[in-house]
């Protein structure tokens, strides 16, 4: 019984190692500065498949292809802004983690603030209504002033 269990453990470790090897995407950077620039740029771009991960952290096939595209454009001497413009032209502003403030993105930028303010107003109104109900009635004049 121990042999099949060992074989299963070895297979699972092998699969885990294979998955980890796929996450590593070595690229031939010229120097450390170029690698840092690449990491910063890909962390500002959204993975179009995962949508909640940046391009640097995603292991999706499209993300890997986009990282290679960014790397190739860096090798061609393009600036970060030129690379972003290329990706925006191809995939729209959705590819940017911080989309620009435009008419179509106003809700993205200010929506959370509006929800927070709406919640604060609702809480204030609820507290005010409850405090009005909880106010004790004023004592009526009965002629007894025992206070």
Q: Is residue 10 part of a domain?
A: no
* Number of domains forming the structure of the chain: 2
Q: Do residue 40 and residue 60 come from a single domain?
A: yes
- Residue range 103-145, pLDDT digits in tens: 877 887 888 999 999 999 999 999 999 988 876 656 665 555 5
Give the model's confidence band at 20: pLDDT under 50 very low, under 70 low, under 90 confident, else very high.
very low
Query: What region, left, alpha or beta, does residue 77 occupy, with left being phi > 0 and alpha being psi -120 to 50 degrees?
Result: left
Q: Do residue 53 and residue 35 come from a single domain?
A: yes
DSSP-derived secondary structure letter, 55: T
Beta partners for 50?
A: none
Q: Do residue 60 and residue 119 come from a single domain?
A: no
Provide the pLDDT for residue 127.
94
- Comparing 16-30, 66-80, 98-112, 126-140, which segment has the lowest mean pLDDT? 16-30
Task: Tell me the C-alpha to C-alpha distance, in Å, between residue 24 and each of 46, 57, 58, 79.
Answer: 18, 10, 11, 25
Q: How far apart are CA 57 and CA 23, in angstroms?
A: 9
Q: Do residue 68 and residue 40 come from a single domain?
A: yes
Task: Look at residues 58, 75, 99 and tell me which one is the last residue of a structural domain.
Answer: 99
Question: Is residue 98 scored above 70 in pLDDT?
Answer: yes
Provide the domain limits for residue 114: 101-132
Instruction: Kindly report the pTM of this predicted structure.
Output: 0.58
Q: Do residue 33 and residue 92 come from a single domain?
A: yes
> H helices of 24-105, where?
32-43, 61-75, 80-91
Q: Do residue 50 and residue 69 come from a single domain?
A: yes
93, 99 contact by CB (below 8 A): yes
Q: Do residue 57 and residue 116 come from a single domain?
A: no
Q: Do residue 40 and residue 89 come from a single domain?
A: yes
């Amino acid at each position: 019984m121990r042999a099949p269990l060992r074989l299963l453990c070895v297979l699972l470790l092998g699969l885990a190692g294979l998955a980890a090897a796929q996450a590593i995407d070595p690229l031939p950077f010229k120097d450390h500065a170029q690698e840092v620039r690449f990491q910063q740029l890909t962390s500002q771009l959204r993975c179009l498949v995962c949508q909640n991960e940046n391009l640097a952290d995603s292991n999706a096939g499209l993300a890997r292809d986009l990282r290679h595209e960014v790397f190739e454009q860096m090798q061609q001497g393009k600036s970060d802004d030129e690379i972003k413009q290329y990706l925006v032209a191809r995939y729209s502003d959705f590819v940017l983690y911080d989309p620009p403030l435009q008419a179509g993105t106003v809700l993205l930028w200010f929506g959370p603030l509006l929800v927070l303010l709406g919640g604060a107003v609702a809480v204030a109104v609820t507290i005010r209504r409850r405090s009005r109900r909880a106010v004790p009635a004023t004592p009526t004049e009965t002629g007894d002033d025992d206070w």
